[in-house]
Structure 1
Amino acid sequence: MYQNLEEHNRLVNRYLKIFFIVTLYWSTSILTVFVNKHLLSSESVNLGAPVFMSWFQCVVSAAICFAMSRCSRKYPSVFSFPNGDPLNIDTFRKILPLSLLFTLMVGANNLSLKYVSVAFYYIGRSLTTVFSVLLTWLILRQRTSFKCLLCCAAIVVGFWLGVDQESLTTVFSWRGTIFGILSSLALAMYSIQTKKSLSYVNEEVWLLSYYNNLYSIVLFLPLIILSGELETIITYPHLLAGWFWAAMILSGFCGFAIGFVTALEIKVTSPLTHNISGTAKACVQTVIATHYYNDARSALWWTSNVMVLVASAAYTRFKQLEMLRRHQQQSITTQKA
């Protein structure tokens, strides 16, 4: 009786922890999207340099981690930060693939957000689950059930329906849509690689965030030059305004928070759960965006959103049942042995 109660309490605590982290991820992610959109496209700011903004977010994130690291050494009783050396060549070699994906994901995210509305941002990045299935087959050679493939097909149909309906509006951008697709691919790969990279840093999310942002600072620099944003930044009329840098620092804090809670959610759940969580969050984000911007949409446009959400939820359920059956079969095989 006592053991059952203890096991029950342990499960309750685990689910509460997961619920809190998922809620934190949703809140942070939605806030980050709206802050970034304001910086990139609002009449008052209109920075127009998404790659530079991504780079600055990495600078702020790395600075936060560095400050935490120093404070933990000076005041260990107050601050706690895992020990690590970002300049270690072996560490750099192991974390670099994740940083490359992180750079691609964040850069494509902000580039997509520059050209599309916040409402369509969800549909533009809805193919993450489909890419996860493709990568699982290509990299791990693991086949997906027919039911899950049907769900992926429904997601693709929902995506194309959303694109078709969005193309009827004046804000549609093929460039933003392509960057959204690229971001979905990068996110699917990033989720898988994060789980692997956490093992290199003893499951320390803080340390992984520190390394990831520090390496991405260097990776973003040539992209700023190649994208032609250097001239945009130099000629920006509000470059010396205090309110502009306050907004940029806020965006940097948001960028740090979303990177941290993303790794944390993947750590306590799984890459698959994180992808589905992101899809469901984006649906809520779409509803908020249409109300906030007074953005009226057609019934077919909303149908595309519902199709993607329902198909993603069904995919998750089918995957959970498959994993449960596989676990039961392994248990039976172990007992027989």
Structure 2
Amino acid sequence: MVATTSQPSDSHPPSRTRVALTVLFHSSCAIWSTILSKSALNGVEAPVTLLALQTTVQLVLLTGIGLFTGWIQLSRPPSAWIAILPLTIARLVGILAKTYCLASVNASVYQIARGLLLPFTLLLSLMVLRPRPYYPPLSLAGCAVVMSGFGAGMTADYSQMLTSGKGVLLGIGSSFTTAVESVVVKKFLGKGDEGMWQMVWMSNAMAVLFYIPLLPLSGELTAISGLMEPTPEGAEPGPSVHKFLGMAMLTGLSGFLLTIATFMQIAVTSPTTHMIVTAARGVAQSSLAIVLLGEALTVDRAGSMLLILSGSGLYGWAKDRHMQSKKPPADYLPVSSRDEPTNEVEMKPR
């Protein structure tokens, strides 16, 4: 039987403990996945190859665990695969943009480069989600602070030649595609006959097929094969293909956990909450990049990160205060309201 997780969440809001543990699990997986991926890309700049190996490892793990637990079914009708195609494309484009961005910027500035995630998520949520979310003026002010943090950080990094123009553009593109991915996943989790685990497995299976033509088109196979040639005597040893493959396996494991954590977090939170957590974990990620990868943290980067975190916090606080103000006092709820669950669903935060 395929596990379905989206339906219960529609009638019973998840507990605070479940939300907190899910967010903590997702943040931990995301941080280590980023650090491990950047470590692999520092040796060999082959984003598509890295992602292809990661996705293959994830698919093997998902297949083994899913078949053992009965959470997935290998045989699905063509209509099911066609229905899941938009989700697969959104996730594939999103992860490609994020990985190319990570290859072009330092891990310590990665979250700053993707600082436009909040405004893109707000805009897409208004365009796609129904009913349309309402954003209080104070939350929009928080969005403006986030945008100023992105602008200040990227301008300073670009002027000091710490980040290239390519890195800035990839950061903008990655912010947009991640926002698209969050909103698309949120829509798919609430509709369709496939459960969360089945959707994860199907989207990864199709992604592997997409990587088959992408690998030769990327030109990375030539670079990888060059690493396998013996180093001339007396020359400095270059990057090791064995180290790259080993890191790819580790990132595949962390990516597997991150994929599950992403679906779990979006299932119990809104796309904007998902985005706020993504911004908040930037501090821990930057600190680990400085310690483990030897990257520099400038005053401009620290100030930009502070603006992004402050703006995200202001947005979240204003949004939560607005939702709390819409809830009637518990003492004045009529007894008959217990028999009307539809009203409760309409009042719960999304």
- Please give the range of the TM-score, normalised by the shorter of the 2 chains: 0.7 to 0.9
Distance 1:114 1:86, change over 3 A: farther
| Alignment CA distance shift 1:161-1:245 (3 Å) | same
Matched, 1:188 2:179: yes
- Which of 87, 99, 113 matches 1:110? 99
Partner residue in 2 for 1:162 = 153
Aligned counterpart, 1:250: 250
Greater shift after overlay, 249-258 or 215-224? 215-224
Tell me if the contact between 2:128 and 2:183 (Cα under 8 Å) persists in the aligned partners: no
> Secondary structure of 2:265's match?
helix
Q: Who is 1:37 aligned against? A: 38
Tell me how far apart the structure 2 counterparts of residues 281 and 324 of structure 1 sit (CA, whole Å). 25
Which residue is equivalent to 1:290? 290
Q: Compute the displacement of 1:91 (Å).
A: 1.5
Do the aligned partners of 1:105 and 1:183 also contact (CA within 8 Å) in 2? yes
Say whether residues 1:135 and 2:132 are aligned partners.
no
Does the CA contact (< 8 Å) of 1:112 and 1:121 recur in 2? yes
Moved more, 132-141 or 60-69: 132-141
Q: By how many angstroms is 1:286 displaced?
A: 1.5
Output one character per residue of 1:84-105: Cα deviation in whole Å (capped at 9) or x when no partner. 3464222112211111111111
Structure possessing the higher relative contact order (Cα contacts under 8 Å, 6 or more residues apart): 2
In structure 1, what is the Cα distance between the partners aligned to 2:103 and 2:257? 21
Identity %: 25
Question: 8 Å contact 1:40–1:50 — kept in the other structure?
Answer: yes
Residue type of the alignment partner of 2:275: N
Moved more, 256-265 or 86-95: 86-95
Q: In structure 2, the residue corresponding to 1:235 is in which secondary structure?
A: helix
User: Which amino acid in the other structure matches residue 80 of structure 2?
Assistant: T
CA distance in 2, matches of 1:51, 1:311: 33
CA contact (8 A) 1:51 1:220 kept: yes
Q: Distance in 1 between matches of 2:255 and 2:77?
A: 25
Q: Compute the displacement of 1:322 (Å).
A: 2.5
SS at 1:167 equivalent: helix
Deviation at 1:294, TM superposition (A): 4.3
Report deviation, 1:203: 7.3
Opposite residue 20 of structure 2, the aligned amino acid is F
Cα RMSD of the aligned pairs, angstroms, is: 2.8
TM superposition shift of 1:314: 0.8
Which residue of the other structure, out of 51, 54, 60, is the alignment partner of 1:54?
51
Q: Is 172-181 or 98-107 further displaced after alignment?
A: 172-181
Of 232-241 and 220-229, the range deviating more from structure 2 = 232-241
CA gap 1:194/1:86 in 2 versus in 1, 3 angstroms: farther
CA distance 1:332–1:131, shift in 2 (3 Å):
farther
Q: Supply the distance in 2 between the matched residues of 1:241 and 1:300 (Cα, whole angstroms).
A: 36
Aligned pairs for 1:200-239 (under 5 A) are: 200=191, 204-237=195-228
1:280 and 1:203 map into 2 onto residues whose CA distance is: 31
Moved more, 87-96 or 60-69: 87-96
Q: Return closer, same or farther for 1:240/1:311 CA change in 2, 3 Å cut-off.
A: closer
Change in Cα spacing, 1:223 to 1:86, as seen in structure 2 (3 Å) is farther
Report if aligned partners of 1:108, 1:179 keep a CA contact under 8 Å in 2.
yes
Aligned residues, how many? Answer: 312
Letter of the 1:319 partner, please give it: K
Q: Distance in 2 between matches of 1:90 and 1:109?
A: 30
Flag the 1:58–1:17 CA change in 2: closer, same or farther, 3 A: same
Q: Deviation at 1:256?
A: 1.0
The answer to whether the 8 Å contact 1:191/1:266 transfers is yes
CA distance in 1, matches of 2:20, 2:134: 30
> C-alpha deviations, 1:240-265, integer Å up to 9, x for none?
96554332211111111111111111
1:156-214 deviations in Å (ceiling 9; x for gaps)? 11101001221244431221222222121111111111122224566733222211211
* CA 201–232 in structure 1, closer or farther in 2 if over 3 Å, else same: farther
Q: 1:19, 1:159 → 2: CA distance?
A: 27
Cα deviation for residue 283 of structure 1 reads 2.4
TM-score normalized with structure 2 length: 0.80
Q: Render the CA deviation track for 1:65-112: whole Å, top value 9, x for unaligned.
A: 111233x2xxxxxxx232434642221122111111111111111111
Partner of 2:308: 308
Change (3 A) 1:298 1:60: closer
Partner in structure 1 of residue 66 of structure 2? 69
For the 8 Å contact 2:146–2:307, the answer to whether it is kept is yes
Q: 1:224 to 1:22 in 2, by over 3 A?
A: same
1:114 Cα deviation after fit: 0.8
